């Protein structure tokens, strides 16, 4: 125990030194108190976009805040959400739709909030080799013989129709009823004239297959490639590395990324219960600070840190897939058909373009899609959309964290939105695959614009 | 016996060759043949492995698995290194805070890193032994009571017969829900996941012990029972002096069976409920889908098998130790 004692003395001396050094400078920690709860457990699903949590841990950003965090992989999104609700987990990497749906009461009802949006983009849609062969004939070619991107679902439509005529169900996989992947897959299919089916929760139908051409069902992300290989589904929409895995295993072909469906779409969020945020305000701000720093690190110097991040993610306790598979999407390229590797520098965005700021308009987009596909069974007013979004998305916590980082010179003000004028709504967004413009201030008008989907006044 | 020993001492020179040949015979039986068996198995394994192509690459052969054993050990070493650094950083941070905020009572928090393969083996062993001991504590008294009283036996028998064949996977969701409903303290002594696996193990390995104990107790020699009656032994003394010693072989047979069941159940429970341990290790590696995953799973399979074997041998040794019937083996 001698060494321990001398270590303590050394630590004490260090602390005294640090204390005197700090006392001459204004200490920001006086404004932001110590965390009320120091030992935390965070859950995640094995996807590359959990990176901010892994980086905040490995780079010591959590510890800098005095937080001792244990990170645990979860079996699927339901287990993860239940974990956060029953307190087994203090927070988790969540699908953007999960806190919204939970607060609304679609599925398990619970007040979940998010102070931090984790990333933009990062998903893809993959079809099996067999379907790809059938689709390929319908896709226009570039002069070099490679297919023209983005590939639209119009190319898939004849295939789905053939299956329908033969009386065979056309099954596809997504990861959760309120997941980004579900809405993206539906958006892509519907933009190509394929009906992905309605939900009717008021009639007890939560399968989401009413009137469907393509039948969508839930499969946990890491099992997607195996399920595709088994022939249970013909295609899926999932986050990385599970699209690239299909290319490496030679069992399927990614046809489109969500970047092409909706440029810079919000993806995962960090979810905690409202109770947690109210009970432990300092802890909440501090964990947000750590996550912001991790996101900054991930995008720093034009993605210079990404190879190191990929190495960390490929450890078996995080994502655990091979380095090459994860690197394919994280370092700015994406391999479609084997050998057809294209530059997609913004495939995974963690900090640029205010990726981490929880915009109300992002939450409202998810709500419009929930209404479009019947998960919200009846009409709601524009104000209802805004109220719900402001209950779940908490830019106030984000602002507190960002401002304290700026005060401590750990970040610069120009890295964040201008907090004095920011109202939480992005400018009307134009980059959708079907060219429909989204304005977060007018959700009802937006829903009216879709050829396929429920319109105002329509109820199944 | 003594005569032979003396003779051996006198005529060592003559007896040695015979001893040697006996030694050789047992050497062949206990070393050479099993070794040959293992070698043939390894050969077959590596030949077949090369012919199986999975979407994660070739099925791992012995060499790949050996490599992963080494990699897992290296990982363990690195993790220990990180753990040391973690505590050092923590001490510094605590000291800093005490300097600024003298009211603060520093607290050392446990290492937050991931369990390594070795840690998970230990977790699994601790869980299985706790679950098993809990089952012993319930099953043996219950078994004795059932064995002593035919009436109780008839009453309890249907319940035992119905619950005995139930798979752990069926119990697990119920156990999980009940545990999270009843066990909610802000600062739990043991983790919920630990309790979940423990209770599932207990529920599944209870029955062989109850049945064997009951059969053992019911089948005591009539004469012994009569002796007890003649001596007018009180009930507790009767159990202690007559029933227990007579039923020990059967009780231990039941315990051995149960421990085997417990180990199998534990791996399945850990896998399904994501409780820490070897089962979770296997599941996590399967989910990772990296090119090393299959070799790592195979390494875990070998370890699971080896531990199961050692547990069984351990119980057998214990059984021989406490039992008067030295005839049992295997």
Q: Give me the residue from B93, B109, B184 closest to A39, CB to CB.
A: B109
Q: What letter does residue B240 receive in the DSSP assignment?
A: I
Look at the block and give the residue holding tokens 């992005």: A426
Most B CBs within 10 A among A24, A320, A338, hence the mutation to make, goes to: A320
Tokens of B22: 């006996």
What local confidence, expressed as pLDDT, does residue A19 receive?
Answer: 43
Beta carbons of A290 and A64 less than 8 angstroms apart:
yes
ipTM score for this prediction: 0.73
**Cα A193–A195–A199 angle (5° rounding)?**
150
Residues of B in contact with A12 (CB under 8 A): 95, 99
pLDDT tens-digit map of B151-184: 998 998 898 889 888 887 788 888 888 887 887 7
Residues of B in contact with A70 (CB under 8 A): 112
What local confidence, expressed as pLDDT, does residue B183 receive?
Answer: 79
Q: Is the pLDDT of residue B323 over 80?
A: no
Q: Determine the CATH number of domain A123-262.
A: 3.40.190.10
- Assign B246 a pLDDT band (cuts: 50, 70, 90): confident
Minimal CA separation from A44 to chain B, in Å: 13
pLDDT tens-digit map of A130-164: 999 999 999 999 998 889 989 999 999 999 999 99
Q: How far apart are CA B82 and CA B86, in angstroms?
A: 6
Q: How far apart are CA B131 and CA B136, in angstroms?
A: 9
Q: How far apart are CA A59 and CA B7, in angstroms?
A: 76
Q: Is the pLDDT of residue B261 over 80?
A: yes
Minimal CA separation from B61 to chain A, in Å: 19
Minimal CA separation from A84 to chain B, in Å: 13
Residues of B in contact with A251 (CB under 8 A): 55
What local confidence, expressed as pLDDT, does residue B188 receive?
Answer: 67
Same fold, A39-120+266-334+344-358+394-426 and A123-262: yes
Q: Is the pLDDT of residue A353 over 80?
A: yes
The mean per-residue pLDDT over the stretch A85-101 comes to 92
| Phi-psi map region of A162: left, alpha, beta (phi>0 left; psi -120 to 50 alpha) | alpha
Give me the residue spans of the domains in chain A: 39-120+266-334+344-358+394-426, 123-262
- Assign B303 a pLDDT band (cuts: 50, 70, 90): very high
Residues of B in contact with A249 (CB under 8 A): 55-56
| CB interface of A with B, residues 25-54, below 8 Å | 34, 38-39, 46
3-class secondary-structure state, position A266: strand
Q: How much is the mean pLDDT over chain A?
A: 89
Q: Give me the residue from B56, B92, B293 closest to A11, CB to CB.
A: B92
Q: Is the pLDDT of residue A99 over 90?
A: yes
| CB interface of A with B, residues 328-347, below 8 Å | none
Minimal CA separation from A82 to chain B, in Å: 11
Q: Is the pLDDT of residue A26 over 60?
A: no
Q: Where is mean pLDDT largest: A21-25, A452-456, B103-107?
A: A452-456
What local confidence, expressed as pLDDT, does residue B110 receive?
Answer: 85
3-class secondary-structure state, position A91: strand
Most A CBs within 10 A among B96, B177, B275, hence the mutation to make, goes to: B96
Helix segments in B183-327, DSSP class H: 192-218, 222-230, 235-237, 244-273, 278-288, 293-322
- The share of chain B scoring above pLDDT 90, in percent, equals 27
Q: How far apart are CA A455 and CA A333, in angstroms?
A: 38
* CATH 3.40.190.10 given to domain A39-120+266-334+344-358+394-426: yes
Q: How far apart are CA A50 and CA A58, in angstroms?
A: 13
Q: How much is the mean pLDDT over chain B?
A: 84
- Assign A12 a pLDDT band (cuts: 50, 70, 90): very low
pLDDT tens-digit map of A412-439: 999 999 999 999 999 999 989 999 999 9
Query: Does the CB of A386 have a partner CB in chain B at under 8 Å?
Result: no
Tokens of A222: 């890491």
The mean per-residue pLDDT over the stretch A321-339 comes to 89
Q: Quick check: B285 and A18 CB within 8 A?
A: no
Q: Is the pLDDT of residue B329 over 80?
A: no
Q: Give me the residue from B91, B184, B287 closest to A11, CB to CB.
A: B91
| Phi-psi map region of A74: left, alpha, beta (phi>0 left; psi -120 to 50 alpha) | beta
Query: Does the CB of A11 have a partner CB in chain B at under 8 Å?
Result: yes
Look at the block and give the residue holding tokens 């029953």: A86
pLDDT tens-digit map of B118-142: 999 999 999 999 999 999 999 999 9
Q: Distance of alpha carbon B149 from its chain centroid, rounded?
A: 32
Q: How far apart are CA A108 and CA A444, in angstroms?
A: 25
Among B174, B145, B163, CA closest to B273? B174
Among A269, A408, A297, A416, CA closest to A354? A416
- Assign B16 a pLDDT band (cuts: 50, 70, 90): low
Q: How far apart are CA B142 and CA B139, in angstroms?
A: 5
Contacts of B206 (CB under 8 A, 6+ apart): B135, B138, B139, B163, B258
pLDDT tens-digit map of A156-187: 999 999 999 999 999 999 999 999 999 999 99
Contacts of A300 (CB under 8 A, 6+ apart): none
Q: Give me the residue from B112, B285, B290 closest to A70, CB to CB.
A: B112
Residues of A in contact with B285 (CB under 8 A): 316, 320
Tokens of A241: 């590395």
Q: Considering only A7-16, A104-113, A145-154, A362-371, which range has the smallest mean pLDDT?
A: A7-16
Tokens of B321: 């130790």
Q: Quick check: A15 and B98 CB within 8 A?
A: yes
Asked, as a colleague might, if the bond just before A150 is cis with ω within 30 of 0, I would say yes
For residue A182, count CB atoms less than 10 angstroms from its CB and return exposed for 0-12, middle for 13-18, buried for 19 or more: buried
The mean per-residue pLDDT over the stretch B191-195 comes to 82
What local confidence, expressed as pLDDT, does residue A44 receive?
Answer: 94
């Amino acid at each position: 125990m001698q060494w321990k004692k001398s270590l303590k003395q050394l630590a004490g001396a260090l602390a005294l030194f640090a204390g005197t050094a700090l006392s001459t400078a204004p200490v920001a920690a006086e404004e932001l108190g110590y965390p009320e709860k120091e030992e935390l457990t965070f859950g995640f699903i094995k996807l590359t976009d959990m990176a901010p949590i892994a980086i905040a841990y490995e780079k010591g950003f959590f510890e800098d805040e005095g937080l001792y965090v244990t990170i645990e992989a979860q079996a699927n999104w339901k287990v993860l959400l239940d974990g956060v609700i029953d307190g087994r987990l203090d927070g988790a990497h969540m699908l953007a739709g999960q806190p919204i749906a939970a607060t609304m009461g679609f599925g398990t009802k619970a007040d979940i909030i998010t102070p931090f949006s984790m990333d933009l983009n990062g998903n893809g849609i993959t079809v099996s080799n067999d379907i790809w062969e059938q689709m390929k004939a319908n896709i226009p070619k570039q002069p070099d013989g490679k297919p023209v991107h983005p590939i639209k679902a119009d190319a898939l439509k004849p295939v789905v129709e053939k299956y329908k005529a033969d009386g065979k169900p056309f099954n596809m996989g997504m990861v959760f009823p309120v997941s980004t992947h579900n809405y993206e897959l539906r958006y892509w299919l519907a933009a190509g004239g394929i009906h992905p089916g309605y939900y009717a929760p008021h009639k007890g139908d939560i399968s989401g297959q009413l009137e469907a051409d393509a039948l969508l069902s839930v499969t946990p992300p890491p099992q997607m490639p195996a399920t595709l290989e088994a022939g249970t589904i013909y295609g899926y929409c999932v986050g990385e590395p599970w699209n690239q895995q299909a290319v490496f295993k030679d069992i399927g072909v990614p046809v489109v990324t969500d970047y092409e469906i909706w440029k810079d779409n919000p993806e995962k969020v960090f979810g905690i219960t409202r109770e947690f945020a109210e009970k432990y305000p300092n802890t909440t701000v501090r964990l947000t600070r750590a996550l912001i720093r991790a996101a900054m690190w991930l995008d720093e110097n034009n993605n210079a840190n990404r190879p190191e991040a990929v190495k960390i993610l490929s450890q078996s306790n995080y994502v655990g897939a091979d380095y090459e598979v994860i690197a394919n999407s994280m370092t700015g390229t994406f391999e479609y058909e084997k050998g057809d590797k294209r530059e997609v520098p913004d495939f995974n965005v963690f900090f640029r373009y205010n990726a981490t700021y929880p915009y109300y308009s992002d939450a409202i987009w998810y709500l419009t899609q929930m209404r479009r596909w019947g998960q919200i069974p009846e009409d709601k007013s524009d104000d209802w959309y805004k109220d719900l979004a402001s209950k779940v998305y908490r830019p106030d916590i984000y602002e507190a964290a960002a401002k304290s980082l700026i005060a401590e010179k750990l970040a610069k003000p120009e890295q964040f939105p201008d907090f004095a004028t920011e109202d939480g709504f992005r400018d009307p967004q134009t980059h959708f695959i079907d060219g429909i413009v989204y304005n977060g201030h007018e959700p009802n008008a937006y829903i009216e614009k879709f050829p396929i989907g429920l319109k105002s006044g329509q109820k199944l | 016996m003594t005569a032979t020993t003396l003779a051996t001492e006198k005529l060592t020179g003559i007896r040695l060759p015979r001893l040697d040949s006996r030694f050789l015979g047992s050497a062949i039986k206990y070393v050479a043949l099993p070794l040959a068996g293992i070698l043939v198995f390894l050969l077959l394994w590596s030949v077949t492995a090369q012919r199986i192509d999975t979407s994660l690459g070739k099925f791992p052969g012995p060499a790949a698995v050996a490599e992963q054993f080494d990699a897992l050990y290296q990982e363990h070493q690195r993790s220990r290194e990180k753990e040391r650094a973690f505590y050092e950083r923590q001490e510094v941070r605590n000291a800093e805070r005490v300097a600024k905020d003298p009211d603060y009572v520093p607290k050392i928090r446990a290492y937050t890193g991931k369990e390594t393969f070795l840690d998970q083996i230990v977790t699994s062993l601790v869980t299985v032994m706790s679950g098993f001991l809990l089952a012993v504590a319930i099953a043996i008294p219950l078994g004795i009571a059932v064995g002593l009283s035919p009436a109780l036996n008839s009453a309890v028998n249907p319940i035992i017969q119905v619950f005995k064949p139930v798979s752990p996977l069926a119990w697990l969701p119920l156990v999980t829900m009940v545990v999270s409903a009843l066990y909610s303290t802000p600062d739990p002594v043991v983790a919920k996941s630990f309790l979940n696996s423990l209770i599932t193990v207990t529920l599944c390995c209870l029955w062989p012990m109850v049945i064997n104990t009951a059969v053992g107790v019911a089948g005591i020699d009539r004469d012994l029972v009569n002796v007890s009656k003649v001596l007018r032994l009180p009930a507790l003394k009767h159990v202690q002096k007559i029933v227990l010693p007579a039923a020990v072989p059967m009780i231990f047979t039941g315990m051995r069976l149960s421990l085997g069941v417990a180990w199998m159940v534990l791996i399945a429970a850990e896998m399904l409920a994501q409780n820490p341990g070897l089962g979770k290790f296997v599941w996590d590696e399967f989910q990772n889908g990296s090119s090393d995953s299959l070799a790592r799973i195979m390494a875990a399979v070998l370890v699971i098998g080896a531990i199961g074997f050692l547990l069984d041998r351990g119980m057998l040794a214990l059984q021989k130790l406490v039992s008067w019937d030295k005839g049992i083996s295997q």
